[in-house]
Chain A
Amino acid sequence: MSVVIWDLDTDKVINRLKEGKRIDERAFDEYREIKLQKQISENADGSARVQLGETDIIAGVKFELGKPYPDTPEEGTMSVNSELLPLASPTFEFGPPSVESVELARVVDRGIRESKCMDFKSFCIREKELAYTANIDIYVVNYAGNLFDASAFAAIDALAETKLPKVEEDKLVAGEYSGKLKLSRKPILGTFAKISNNIVLDPNLAEEKAMNARFSVSTTEDEMLCAFQKGMGGSFTSAELSSMLDIALKKGKELRKLL
Chain B
Amino acid sequence: MSKKKEVLEYVDKEGKRTDGRKADELRAIKIEAGVLPRADGSAYLEWGQNKVLAAVYGPREVIPKHHANPYKAIVRYAYRMASFSVPERKNPRPGRRELEISKVSGEALEKAIFLERFPNTAIDVFVEVLDSNAGTRIAALTAASVALADAGIPMRDMVSGVAIGKISGNLVLDLNKHEEDAPDAVDMPLAVLPNSEEIVLLQMDGLLKRSDWENAFELGMTGCKKVYELQKAALKKKYEIANGDEQK
Query: Which B residues from 106 to 154 make CB contacts under 8 A with A?
Result: 107, 110-111
Q: Given that A226-B206, A234-B111 are known contacts, is A102 also in contact with B100, CB under 8 Å in the complex? A: yes
Q: Are A233 and B110 in contact (CB under 8 A)?
A: yes
- Which residues of the partner chain B approach A249 to less than 8 Å between Cβ atoms? 210
Question: For chains A and B in complex, what number of residue pairs have CB atoms within 8 angstroms?
Answer: 95
Write out, one digit per residue, whether chain B residues 26-40 have a CB within 8 A of any chain A CB (1) or not (0). Answer: 000000000000000
Q: Mark B88-114, 1 if CB is under 8 A from A, else 0.
A: 000000001101101110010011000
Greatest chain B CB density within 10 A among A223, A235, A249 is at A235
**B200 / chain A contacts, CB cutoff of 8 Å:** 230, 235
Nearest B residue to A104 via CB reads B100
Interchain CA distance A229-B75 in the complex, whole Å? 19
A176 within 8 A of B: no
Taking the closest CB of chain A, its distance from the CB of B215, in whole angstroms, is 11
Measured as residues with beta carbon below 8 angstroms from the partner, the interface class of chain A is 20 to 34
Is the C-beta of A105 less than 8 angstroms from some C-beta in chain B?
A: yes
B6-14, B46-54, B191-199, B227-235: which one contacts chain A? Answer: B191-199
Instruction: Report which residue of A230, A237, A249 has the largest number of chain B beta carbons within 10 angstroms of its beta carbon.
Output: A230
Interface check B203, CB cutoff 8 A: yes
A114 closest partner in B (C-beta): B205
Give the distance in Å from the alpha carbon of A254 to the alpha carbon of B103 in the complex.
31
Identify 13 residue pairs between A and B in the complex whose beta-carbon atoms are under 8 Å apart, listed by A's number: A99-B99, A99-B100, A225-B207, A225-B210, A226-B206, A227-B205, A228-B202, A231-B103, A235-B198, A236-B202, A242-B213, A245-B210, A245-B213
Knowing A99-B102, A233-B110, A235-B111, say if A3 contacts B70 (CB, 8 Å). yes
Complex interface bits, A71-107 against B, C-beta within 8 A gives 1, otherwise 0? 0000000000000000000000000010100110110
Confirm or deny: A178 has a beta carbon within 8 angstroms of a beta carbon on chain B. Answer: no
Q: Are B199 and A237 in contact (CB under 8 A)?
A: yes
Task: Establish whether residues A231 and B197, one from each chain, have CB atoms under 8 Å apart when the complex forms.
Answer: no
A15 to chain B, nearest CB (A): 19
Known: A114-B207, A225-B207, A245-B210. A102 touches B96 (CB 8 A): yes
Contacts of B110 in A (CB 8 A): 233-234
Residues of A participating in the B interface, judged by any CB pair closer than 8 Å: 3, 97, 99, 102-103, 105-106, 110, 114-116, 215, 220, 223-238, 241-242, 245-246, 249
B163 at the interface (CB under 8 A from A): no
- Look across to chain B and name the residue whose beta carbon is closest to the beta carbon of A224: B207
Number of residues on chain B facing chain A (CB within 8 A): 32
A233 vs B73: C-alpha distance in the bound complex, in angstroms? Answer: 12
Question: Quick check: is B56 within 8 A (CB to CB) of the other chain?
Answer: no
Q: Are A230 and B202 neighbours in the complex by a CB distance under 8 Å?
A: yes
Residues of B within 8 A of A234 (CB): 110-111
- What CA separation (Å) do A219 and B75 show in the bound complex? 32
Residues of A within 8 A of B196 (CB): 235
Q: Which 7 A-B pairs have the closest CB atoms?
A: A233-B110, A228-B204, A235-B198, A230-B202, A236-B199, A225-B208, A224-B207
Which residues of A lie under 8 Å from residue B96 when comparing CB positions?
97, 102, 105-106
Cβ-closest chain A residue relative to B96: A102
CB neighbours (8 Å) of A229 from chain B are: 104, 202-203
Query: Given A99-B103, A103-B103, A238-B214, is A230 in contact with B199 using a C-beta cutoff of 8 Å?
Result: yes
Residue pair A115, B107 in contact (C-beta under 8 Å): no
- Select one of A103, A224, A246 contacting B100, CB under 8 A: A103
- For residue B209, CB closer than 8 A to chain A, the reply is yes
Please judge, given known A-B contacts A99-B99, A106-B96, A245-B213, whether A238 and B208 are in contact too, CB under 8 Å.
Answer: no
The residue that B202 contacts in the complex, of A103, A105, A215, with Cβ under 8 A, is A215
A223 adjacent to B210 (CB under 8 Å) = yes
CA distance A153 to B18 in the complex (A): 39
Please name all residues of chain A whose beta carbon is closer than 8 Å to the beta carbon of B209 when the two chains form the complex: 223-225
Q: Which of B193, B207, B208 contacts A116 (CB 8 A)?
A: B207
Q: Is B201 an interface residue (CB 8 A)?
A: yes
16 new A-B contacts, CB < 8 A, other than A230-B199, A235-B196, A237-B199, are A99-B103, A223-B210, A224-B210, A225-B204, A226-B204, A226-B205, A227-B203, A228-B202, A228-B203, A229-B203, A230-B203, A233-B110, A235-B199, A238-B214, A238-B217, A246-B210
